[in-house]
Amino acid sequence: MKFLSTIAAGLLAAGYAAAVANKAVDACLKGNKVPASYPGDWDYDELAEPFNLRLQYKPAAIVLPETNKHVQDAVVCASQSGLKVQAKSGGHSYASFSSGGKDGSMIIDLQPLQNIQLDKTTNVAKVGGGVRLGNLAQGVWDQGKRAISHGTCPGVGIGGHFTHGGYGHTSRNWGIALDHIVGLDVVTADGKLLHATATENKELFWALRGAAESFGIVTNFYLRTQAAPKKVTYFQFQWADTLFKNKKAFTDTFLHIQTFSQNASVVDNRISYGIYLDGNATYNLGGTFFGTGAEFKSTIKPEFLRGTAPPTQVAVEEYEWIPYLILMSDKTDIKEPLTGYDEHDTFFAKSITVPEADGGLTATTLNAFWDYISKPAPYSYFVIINLYGGPGSAINTKDTNFAAYNDRDSLWVFQNYGTNPTSLDYINGINDVIIKSQPETHFGAYLNYVDPSYSAKEAHELYYGQELYSKLATLKKKYDPKQVFWMPQAIGVS
């Protein structure tokens, strides 16, 4: 009973401390006229609702800044009151870390920061931290027929996507989204507003590109753009469920695709693709070629399919730039609402990065993978296997000297995604069967598919590796010694 009384007393003390902190931060925000929503306010529940409904948290306050000064004041208020802080750009964090990763954090929701301004002299776009990818793409196109490399989901926010990598079907040609960042306006843990570039606050600039959530709140991105192509070629090969009926055909087809992907006589930076497996009913390969449909059909398609099982359907078609982006988004428009975004899912996802230096996946691994996924699953899921490496890949031309981003040596990146999971076991099992089948390979994980089931130590090793993490941890002590910017896997969390 005495032990229980001690626990109860501890909980009461923690609750009291939280209440005092919340009251203090409320008074501070209101005193500085910082727009915010609190539990019980009419808009709080909608603002607090995460993309992944499996992981819901209750922030102590949700700040809606209209100016840099609002962000600065909010960070100072949180620091003085002992609250942890996280930024929310689009809110698509797979782990709901943009909701703090726990109850009682301050969320700085950048939704009001929607500016997109293209400098037509430098072709650099200044973009607010709350802009979503679809609006970014449409904005730079409308202002100058320009384009930027990024993912295909138009509702994803610029913040986490760009600072944690940002893969899309333009990445092998133009680099990942992160590679387009040439400057950042950032509020640091002491409330200062800094401009960071390769020459100004350069060590902070380095750290933000890979671990921004641990170092500050980015209010503006300065992004290199390039001329949008007049047309690109989209292609898709469909095998329906045929490869799930024959293990040898499944494995041989993937091995041929893997060999093709590393064949410099036919593959260069202009081509990108991914394999989509939907349970054991669908096997599709779709991608983009920065060239004509005629060239793809005459020189690439024959070699692509030469060693595969015959597909059930083949499509090759040219698209103008914006219609292509709409096609890839699987929507009718890439423009998203500036307020009231209301798309959600309930899911658990993991990732695997497959290093190119080891040659990719072996027949033994692919056979074990087929054995696992060919059996009935307890819930709906999909696997996407995107090509990152191969000849000419712009993704892998840089290293950790350029930015605090470690995934520069992958051939393939897996996304394993289960919807309405009754447990985490099945998706964990996909990872396990691949990793355990190749014990000699050092697999990693992709930052933008953040996995909340990892401990901080596991996440740091998988996402960064020891050497890179050590450098980030040193900078964390310099820029945020009080751990103001926190989530469960933040730099400095043990």
pLDDT at 19: 67
Buried b or exposed e, range 204-231, using 16+ CB within 10 angstroms: bbbbbbbbbbbbbbbbbbbbbbeebbee
Domains of the chain: 116-228+469-479 (3.30.465.10)
Question: Along the 494 residues of the chain, how does pLDDT read in single tens digits?
Answer: 555 565 455 544 445 556 666 889 999 999 999 999 999 999 999 999 999 999 999 999 999 999 999 999 999 999 999 999 999 999 999 999 999 999 999 999 999 999 999 999 999 999 999 999 999 999 999 999 999 999 999 999 999 999 999 999 999 999 999 999 999 999 999 999 999 999 999 999 999 999 999 999 999 999 999 999 999 999 999 999 999 999 999 999 999 999 999 999 999 999 999 999 998 899 999 999 999 999 999 999 999 999 899 999 999 999 999 999 999 999 999 999 999 999 999 999 999 999 999 999 999 999 999 999 999 999 999 999 999 999 999 999 999 999 999 999 999 999 999 999 999 999 999 999 999 999 999 999 999 999 999 999 999 999 999 999 999 999 999 999 999 999 999 999 99
Digit-coded pLDDT (tens) for 355-413: 999 999 999 999 999 999 999 999 999 999 999 999 999 999 999 999 999 999 999 99
Q: From the DSSP assignment, how many helices (H) and strands (E) are in the chain?
A: 15, 18
pLDDT at 11: 45
CA 139 to CA 239: how far, in whole Å?
37
Largest CA distance in the chain: 80
Bridge partners, 146 (sequence order): 227
Bridge partners, 86 (sequence order): 107
pLDDT at 22: 85
CA 27 to CA 21: how far, in whole Å?
10
Q: How far is CA 55 from the centre of its chain?
A: 17
DSSP strand pairing (226-227 vs 146-147): antiparallel
